[in-house]
Amino acid sequence: MTLTVYGLPNCDTCKKARNWLDRFGVAHTFVDYRADPVPPTTLKAWAQSLGGWEKLINKASTTWRTLLPQRKDPRTEPEWTLLLKEYPALIKRPVVVQGDEVSVGFSDNAFKKRFGT
């Protein structure tokens, strides 16, 4: 089953995740979601898989902190998808997708557990 890593090429966490996968021989494809935007239906599926839109958003990011207060409280799916289309850097990085399994972020232990190395 194909493993796809979504993120930004200059993101340190994405680099760590990709290096880990390379080191342990886990084949994967990388998608830069600024250059190749993620469709709203995919964003919605990720949010559902993760347990809600809040789990997909990086609220520690500079992008989030600089948003106007009214933009930080989307109430509908179209508002969420528009926000992420406008500011793709708000998506937690990396998003790792394999089949129906979706995860965000990187840690050595989580990757060991998920990929059995």
Q: End-to-end alpha-carbon separation of the chain, Å?
A: 17
DSSP SS3 for 110? helix
DSSP SS3 for 69? helix
Give the list of residues 6+ apart from residue 96 with CB closer than 8 angstroms, or none: 3, 4, 5, 6, 17, 102, 103, 104, 114
Question: 14 catalytic, yes or no?
Answer: no
From the list 6, 10, 11, 85, the catalytic residue is 11
**Helix (H) or strand (E) run with residue 78 in it:** helix 77-86
State the catalytic residues: 11
